[in-house]
Amino acid sequence: MSIENLCRKHTSLTDEDIQQICDLSKNLQMIADLSQANVFIDCPVQDGPHAVVVAEASPSTGSSLYKKSVVGQWAYEMYEPAVARTHQTGEPTIRNRAITQEGKTVKQSVVPVKNDQGKTIGSLIMEQDISLQLRHENQLRALSHTTEHLSETLMGMTEQGSLISDLIQEALFLVNRKGHIVYANTQALNLLGENKGQEVPVEDQLEFLRDLDYRSHVVHYEEVRSGRKTLGVKSISLRKDNRRIGTLLMIRDVTELREKERQLMVKSTVIKEIHHRVKNNLQMIASLLRLQMRRTRSKEVKSIFQESLNRILSIASVHEIFSNTGLEEVEILEMMKKIGAKLVVNGQPDKEIEIAFTGKPIILSSDKAVSLALVVNELIQNSVEHAFVDQPYGRIGVHLEPLGYEVRVRIWDDGYGLPTERNEGASLGLQIVRTLVEQDLAGSFSIFPTTKGTEAIVQIPLEEG
């Protein structure tokens, strides 16, 4: 039923008033989208303090509060007191909590719609779901109750000895509102040493607490230096009836832990520096080889130099990754991309060769990563140099695939293909690949012709044994 028909059936509005309500409804969807709320227009019925819903809109980018349309339904005063109040007084009601007809709790704002004579002819209603807010409020209320029970339990420890508190590794102090110690477990008494006394404020007995702002926080953690020790101090404010009645202090010696962290950081820095120097040394060797290569006119000698250069640079790529991360592990898909890109750029400058890498990232230890880098270098280099002899362009693909406790590397090209009678022993590159895969990596290697070119498969275990 249209807005006009609903108004004529249930209300005493004039034609001008009905037209004003219809004009307002045209902007209802925009209002709903801007406010991210369900928006309604209610008009007062002819008899009684109730109203009828004549228009509605829900946000187009969110979910509606209502499963079904409520247009045409009555808003009874008992269930919609804010709407009835606005219709009777002409005053808005903002951010009022209400229950929808489907039982949901919402934040409801109601503003009057008035005609030119100032008479209230309806109301614009905005409703937003506050279920999440209510859930948070309930959680905070439960947390408050829990904190009070915790306070009572901990304060009960002061009246009788507690075996549980003595088993806790931290030094445990219960401090009253005046800052005096009312309970200390065995570890806490050991920390105090000779400075034991309940009448002396805890900050006078443990001077490092003076620099901590633990009193103004409900829960606070900070690490401080006390002599040669590093102490982790956690404080929990104990409350009852919303009043602070004391503080629970838990102090733990974290000196050894922080020292180990410092040593690990130093070790990581040293490892990064070592890899950085190895990379630089390898690149220097590569530069010397380039200088030597430029002095010869033999294409065969230059080719041998270039192959050696590529092998050295592939190892340097691995050490470059290690020098950046400081780890003894490497993500091998990233490593293969670095190697492949350099080989394609330096290999055949007169040919257009594309190389694509696919697969999932896989982590490999440093010793295996160096061997695999040489393997990938030889296989990609083999494709770049020999696959596209009579072709101006070509494609090379590298796919990395995890297989349980193993990893498979597939390298293929769409080039010339392997000769029918090939002698693997005549190729130094393939000899290097097979030796590295079978002996260093404890894996398997195969290379074979396909209908579109050549494919090589390397399969190695991720872990030894």
Q: Please provide the DSSP assignment of 268-314 as one string.
A: HHHHHHHHHHHHHHHHHHHHHHHHHHHT---HHHHHHHHHHHHHHHH
Task: Answer yes or no: are the C-beta atoms of 454 and 413 closer than 8 Å.
Answer: yes
Cα–Cα–Cα angle for 230, 232, 237, rounded to 5 degrees:
150
Considering only the C-alpha atoms of the chain, give the largest distance between any 2 of them, rounded to a whole number of Å: 108
Q: Containing H/E element for 413?
A: strand 406-413
Mean pLDDT of 87-114: 82
The total number of residues shown for the chain amounts to 465
CA–CA distance, 174 with 236 (Å, rounded to integer): 10
pTM as predicted: 0.43
Per the rule left: phi > 0, alpha: psi between -120 and 50, beta: everything else, 196 is beta
CA–CA distance, 418 with 353 (Å, rounded to integer): 18
Q: pLDDT by residue (tens digit) across 408-442?
A: 999 999 987 765 455 555 577 788 888 889 988 89
Average pLDDT, the chain: 81
pLDDT band at 459 (very low <50, low <70, confident <90, very high): very high
- Residue 297 pLDDT: 83
Joined tokens for residue 302: 């230059």
Query: Lowest mean pLDDT: which of 129-133, 230-234, 258-262, 461-465?
Result: 461-465
Mean pLDDT of 453-460: 92
- Residue 197 pLDDT: 57
Mean pLDDT of 459-465: 75
Joined tokens for residue 273: 């520096």
Task: Answer yes or no: are the C-beta atoms of 305 and 289 closer than 8 Å.
Answer: yes
Domains of the chain and any CATH numbers: 3-129 (3.30.450.280), 138-253 (3.30.450.20), 258-461 (3.30.565.10)
Q: What is the CA radius of gyration of the chain?
A: 39
What percentage of the chain reaches a pLDDT higher than 70?
85
- Residue 189 pLDDT: 80
- Residue 325 pLDDT: 66
Q: Which of 15, 79, 84, 21 is nearest to 48 (CA)?
A: 84
- Residue 387 pLDDT: 83
Comparison of pLDDT for 205 and 126, the residue scoring more: 126
- Residue 166 pLDDT: 52
pLDDT band at 164 (very low <50, low <70, confident <90, very high): very low
pLDDT band at 45 (very low <50, low <70, confident <90, very high): very high
Residue listed under structure tokens 């009836």:
241
- Residue 137 pLDDT: 60
Query: Lowest mean pLDDT: which of 133-147, 151-165, 234-248, 291-305?
Result: 151-165
Q: Which of 190, 187, 228 is nearest to 208 (CA)?
A: 228
Q: pLDDT by residue (tens digit) across 295-322?
A: 888 888 887 887 788 778 787 877 777 7
- Residue 152 pLDDT: 56
pLDDT band at 159 (very low <50, low <70, confident <90, very high): very low
Joined tokens for residue 6: 């609903």
Q: Does the structure show a pLDDT above 70 at 353?
A: yes
Joined tokens for residue 442: 């404890």
